[in-house]
Structure formats: C-alpha cells, structure tokens
Chains A and B, each alone.
Chain A
Amino acid sequence: MSNRTESNVYTIIFAIAMVIVVGGLLAFTASALRPMIDNNERLEKQQNILYAMGVNDNDESSAVFVSTKEAPQLFEKYISKQLVIQGDNVSEDENAYLIDVKKEQASAKEGNERRLPLFVGEKDGKTFYIAPIRGKGLWDAIWAYIAMDKDMVVQGAYFDHKGETAGLGANIKQRFFMDDFIGENLMNNGEFKGITVAKGNNDPKNENKNDNKVDAIAGATITGDGVSAMLKSELKQYVPYFETLKNE
C-alpha cells in the first residue's frame, strides 16, 4: 500500500466519498423499489387474512396462499366488512387492513386509544372475524392473523415471524402448528383465557379443544411463550366488541 493512502486527508476524503456513494445507492434502490415493495406487502397481508379464514391453496401438508394475482379479487369477494374498533367506537374503513399494528401498539403505550382493526369475512354461510396481532418471539417480532367465530372459537390461524430459529421457533408457520389452533376456544366458562402453547399436556393429537391449550414445538420454548403472551394480551382487547355481538 502506498503512502498516499495512509494520509489523513485521503482517509477523510475516501470516507466522505464512500458515504455519498453507498448512501446514494441505498436511497436510490429503496425509493425506486418502494412502490413495488409496498404493493407486495399489501398483497401479502391480503393473502394472510384470506389464509386465516380458510381461503387458501393448501395441499396435504404444507401451507400455500392463494396466488398474488387472485388475492385482490378474492379479498374483495370474501371480506365483507373491515372495522376499526377504538374504544366503544366502531367504524368501517376499507383500508383497515393497512393499519400498522406495531405503530398502534407504540401509540397505545403513549396513552392514546388504540385502533384495533377487525375484518369480517363471509364464506359458505359462515361469518369469520379476523384479527391481526403482533408480539415478540425469541429473536424478533412474531405476528399472526386469527380468524374466530362470534363466540371467539378459533376458525383458522396464520402465524409468521421475522427471524425465529430455523427448524425450531420458525416452525410456528408450519401447518402442524397452525392447524392445531382450529376449533380451540379462546373463552372458558364465559371468561377470556386465551390459548396457551403448552408442553407435555398429554394431548399430542390435540383432541381436547376446550382446554385452552395447544401442543408446543419441542426446543422452541421462548417462541411458544411469545405466541401465548401475544394471543392473550392482543385478543383480549377484542373481547368487548365480541360482547356487543352477543347482545345483538
């Protein structure tokens, strides 16, 4: 290496040039691709919501979404109402599915009333209420779309994660875990109990649907605890709305 590259002036000029080049490159790609990425994320949300209410292309063992091409039409067809619940105030908003749950959680922490999105879907004469929820796993965020009937019995669930351990916590998005939730009751004797991801509950085939428990994934304790905590704290906030449904 020559002496030229050792001088302080050169080092500083190099650093500045690099920041400009790299920063410009990143900003350019990010802003040029932003609309496409946003569109992909929007389609994914629609796919997730449809998946939870059972509109999917599942084969025997793996979870398959409806194609991105069909998603907007199917979303239009099956989702009849999109609600935003804010305290006692329930309003309709056709873009409720774009509400960022993470932002809402943050603003609720600062004392604001949280906006809770809820999607109402109709399929084969049945009504589904689908709630988007978000929590923390071992490494990073986990989130889910839970489809319920009006008595808060789970009809379908879609889980996803940002960076759980492959083969362990990452398995929350596998069929064998998600399908366990179908038919599980979130209520117990009229009280909200949530669903606990439990180890060794002697029910590996998950035949008991009223025990508020599903079987955990071996070796993924913290992710499982995160799922339990997320279901409990997030879905609890929807209970008042489901109470009003009963009285109708």
Chain B
Amino acid sequence: MGLLSKKDAALIKDPLADNNPITIQVLGICSALAITAELEAAIVMSVSVLFVLGIGNVVISLMRNIIPSKIRIIVQLIVVAALVIIVDQVLKAFAYELSKTLSVFVGLIITNCIIMGRFEAFALGNGPWRSFLDGIGNSLGYGVILIIVAFFRELLGAGTLLGIKVLGDPIEKTGVYAFGYENNGFMLLAPMALIVVGIIIWIQRTRNTSLVEDH
C-alpha cells in the first residue's frame, strides 16, 4: 500500500473486518440473504456492487456541492438507478450472454442499502478519491461476508461448490454420500442465511471484544 497514506489505507481495510458493512453497519442484508444459496451468484453480485459503489461514490462525491439537501435522496437514487440501467442496456446490446447472468441482479443492486448508506454516510462529505477508496473497501467487506456465507450454504445445502459436486453424487451414492451423509436442504433456505451471518458475528466479536454491544 505504498501508494496510499495510512488514513487512505484504513478506508479500504476497516470495512473488511472492524467496520464491516454487513456485520457492523447492518447494510445490504437483503441481498446477502437472497443470493447466497450459490457461490457463483454471490461472486457475481460482489463484483457488480464493487463497480457500482466505486463509480457511484465518485459521482456523488463530485456532485456533493451542487445537490440541494432537500432532494438529495431522490438525486442519489436516480444517479445510481440511471447508472445501473445504462450499464444493463449496454450489456444487453453488446454482451448479451453476460447481461443474462447480471440482469437478475439489477433490481437488487439499485435497492441495495449499502449503496445508499455509503452515499449518505461518506460520499456526501468527502472528496472523490477518498470516496472511491471507501466504495472499494466497503464493497470488498460486503463481498467477503457474502462469499463466506455462500460457501457454507452451497457446500452443506447442495454438496456443491460453484456447481461442481465436491462431496460426490447424492443420487448415485458416491463420495461422502456412500457413508450415509445427506445434504442439509435447510441450508438453502433464507432463514439459515440469517443464522449463518449471526454465527459470523458471534465469531468476529469473540475475537475482537471491543465490538461487543451492551445488550
């Protein structure tokens, strides 16, 4: 991180653990539940959020002195929605295959509160470069949790990782299934995502007791 000053490096590093958007700031939960049944979807979503939050933060930061505070929410939402829709349309025209994978996430990205949350909390009060770093850091922190949750849900729920059968075939009874192991279909359901995130919070706060809340 020779390029970045200590303060700037913290913008990237903090959200990865001690100020994680999901487990500490409580942002972007809906999408963390909706798309973590499968590792691949979680990775695609993380990368999309990385782009949108990185660019969106810069745009909002550049506009921060001309946005009237009375209508700032509308402005922020329209900026991010327009950004996402234009990207979606361009992909549909030039990279149709890729757009089919991504179009499912368009709605989830626009309504992802991590994006609005960072606009409000950071980009409205900071310069473009720092906002950009903040966007990258937070989306990385978001992605880390998403990928951990999806890893466990897909592995325990379907016995696969990225669609590859790593535990053997449940119908042919090969691999671990030969010993009577069964997939825990419960893991694929959204309530289990909540509980997995709860457990991640538990582990994180056991390791770093300064994060513990009073009650």
Contact = CB atoms under 8 A, between A and B. Distances in A.
Contact of A11 (B70, B79, B93, B171): B70
Contacts of A167: 35-38, 41, 153-154, 157-158, 188
A30 interface: yes
Interface in B73-103: 74-75, 78-79, 82, 85-86, 89-90, 92-94, 96, 103
Contacts, number: 91
A247 B94 CA distance: 48
Contacts of A11: 68, 70-71
B41 to A, nearest CB: 3
Contact of B85 (A26, A37, A165, A218): A26
A160 to B, nearest CB: 9
A139 B65 CA distance: 39
Residue from B66, B74, B157 whose CB has the most chain A CB atoms within 10 Å: B66
B34 interface: yes
Contacts of A219: 37, 157, 185, 188-189
Interface string B181-196: 0010100110000000
A5 B82 contact: no
Contacts of B26: none
B97 to A, nearest CB: 9
A1 B158 contact: no
B107 interface: yes
A244 interface: no
Interface in B107-162: 107, 153-154, 157-158
B34 to A, nearest CB: 6
Interface residues of B, number: 39
B211 interface: no
A117 B104 CA distance: 27
Specify the main secondary structure of chain A where it touches its partner: helix
A22 interface: yes
A218 B35 contact: no
A33 interface: yes
Contacts of B35: 165-167
Interface in B162-215: 171, 183, 185, 188-189
A28 to B, nearest CB: 9
Given A5-B69, A170-B104, A25 B93 contact: no
B30 interface: no
Interface of B: 34-38, 40-41, 65-71, 74-75, 78-79, 82, 85-86, 89-90, 92-94, 96, 103-104, 107, 153-154, 157-158, 171, 183, 185, 188-189
19 contacts: A5-B65, A5-B66, A6-B69, A10-B68, A11-B71, A14-B66, A25-B86, A26-B85, A26-B86, A33-B90, A37-B92, A37-B93, A166-B34, A166-B41, A167-B38, A167-B188, A218-B183, A218-B188, A219-B37
Given A2-B65, A14-B75, A37-B92, 11 more contacts: A18-B78, A22-B78, A33-B92, A37-B93, A40-B93, A68-B96, A165-B35, A166-B40, A167-B38, A167-B153, A170-B41
